[in-house]
Amino acid sequence: MIVAIIIVAVVVVLAGGVLALRFAHRSDRAAAGATPGEPARPAPPVAPTVTEPSIDETIADLEARLAPQPDVVPDLTPVVTPEELEQLLEEPVREKPRLRDRLGRTRAALAGAFGGLRGRAVDDDTWDDLEEAMLLADVGLPTTQRILEAVRARAKDDKVADASGLVDLVQDEVITILDGGVDRELHAVTGEPNVWMFVGVNGVGKTTTIGKLASQQVGEGKRVVLAAADTFRAAAADQLGLWAERTGGQLVRGQDGADPGSVVFDAMAAASSRGADLVLVDTAGRLHTKSNLMEELKKLRRIVDRTEGACKEVLLVIDASTGQNGLVQAKQFADAVDVTGIVLTKLDGTSKGGIVLAIQSELGLPVKVVGVGEGVEDLVDFDPQEFAAAIFAADEPE
């Protein structure tokens, strides 16, 4: 009996141990997030413990950061000397352009024929080549014949047997035609009203010429008023306004399509009240064959002439590249408004520089100013001897 009791007690104890082990195993699986029948998940890694710096350590770190750093001494060696700096600050001086440097195309038109003549004997072919060269340069037939007749006479008197001598005689005759005692000065009398009118067809550089001359005159200390009397083109007045801002001149303009005569009248009144020295008048430039344009220019001239002696210049602006067509324009305008002189623009970009001779010889109008570039300083007074030397000179070696 006792033995049976002992056996039963052992069985109960063993069963209780088994139940305890199963319960502990289930608790471990639940803590690991595993479901029954699945393997246990690994435990998440334990984050390392971060030790916060103490207050003393934080203060020491801030003091180290805010401590003054050693000064870095820059290199104070001057880049330029005082003399060089003064030279850099000076306004650059722009030299007057040489016609020799700007008339290469006209010279090239003559150089082929003239260069081939040198060293040859004088014969009929020589005279034909001379004539052809001058016609190609747009000297024009009447002026070419006049020059060759004079050269033939001198060559006969001087017994010139070499064609090189003929080229020199042609150059002398060109100077004679251009330097025939004509007045090439742009007139402006101190203390008097001075008006320069500019006429010419559209596209020849009339407004730009006025702007450049205004810049030059202001640079000489004159007070200038620009009259935008081409009221048919708003762009012309706007362009003149830009030149006025750029040069320090004063602009007088009217509404688009307004009476040009009123603009001229207002400009002269403004010049008188403001004590200006010079009024530059831009005019319309529609086709020169239109009679209404010529009548309009005559009207403007009459308005200027109401002030006795005020109109000092009527300058016809011609594009040199138009050649003989420019001569036709000169005849038309000269008959209408009594032109006093010629402004020849774009002379550097054409081989037709001989138009200078044709204008002077056939019309007796002096070329007073020539444009040989884009800059203000490239609008220069015309010098006959320099012009002749430029178109007959040999090209300099590079």
Q: State phi, psi for 224 to the nearest 5 degrees.
A: -120, 140
Residues in Cβ contact with 385 at an 8 Å cutoff, skipping those fewer than 6 apart: 175, 179
Q: Pairing relation of β-strands 278-282 and 224-228?
A: parallel
Q: State phi, psi for 225 to the nearest 5 degrees.
A: -115, 130
Cβ neighbourhood burial of 167 (10 Å; 0-12, 13-18, 19+): buried
Give this prediction's pTM: 0.71
Mean pLDDT of 335-346: 89
What local confidence, expressed as pLDDT, does residue 312 receive? 97
pLDDT in tens, 285-307: 865 456 788 888 999 999 999 99
53 C-beta neighbours (distance < 10 Å), count:
10
What local confidence, expressed as pLDDT, does residue 383 receive? 86
What local confidence, expressed as pLDDT, does residue 212 receive? 93
Residue written as token pair 């984050």: 47
pLDDT band per the 50, 70, 90 thresholds, residue 71: very low
- The encoded tokens of residue 262 equal 């009123």
141 C-beta neighbours (distance < 10 Å), count:
12
The DSSP line for 327-378 is HHHHHHHHHHH---EEEEE-GGG-S-TTHHHHHHHHH-PPEEEEE-SSSGGG
pLDDT in tens, 119-130: 778 888 888 888
Q: Which comes out higher in pLDDT, residue 215 or 32?
A: 215
Rounded CA separation 363/334 (Å): 9
What local confidence, expressed as pLDDT, does residue 32 receive? 47
| Of the candidates 188, 206, 369, the residue with the CA atom closest to the CA atom of residue 278 | 188
User: Of the given ranges (79-83, 219-223, 311-315, 327-331), which has the lowest mean pLDDT?
Assistant: 79-83
pLDDT in tens, 33-50: 444 444 545 555 554 554
Q: Quick one: what percent of the chain has pLDDT higher than 70?
A: 67
Cα 290 to Cα 142, 286, 296, distances in angstroms: 27, 8, 10
The DSSP line for 230-294 is -TT-HHHHHHHHHHHHHHT-EEEE--TT--HHHHHHHHHHHHHHHT-SEEEEE---S-TT-HHHH
pLDDT band per the 50, 70, 90 thresholds, residue 79: very low
Rounded CA separation 271/267 (Å): 6
What local confidence, expressed as pLDDT, does residue 45 receive? 54
Q: Are 250 and 290 in contact (CB under 8 A)?
A: no
Rounded CA separation 359/347 (Å): 14
Provide the edge-to-edge strand list for the sheet that holds 195-199.
250-253, 224-228, 278-282, 195-199, 311-319, 341-345, 367-371, 379-381
What local confidence, expressed as pLDDT, does residue 274 receive? 93
pLDDT band per the 50, 70, 90 thresholds, residue 89: very low
Q: Are 218 and 249 in contact (CB under 8 A)?
A: yes
| Of the candidates 343, 390, 388, the residue with the CA atom closest to the CA atom of residue 367 | 343
Mean pLDDT of 320-332: 83
pLDDT in tens, 167-214: 889 889 988 888 877 889 999 999 999 999 999 988 889 999 999 999
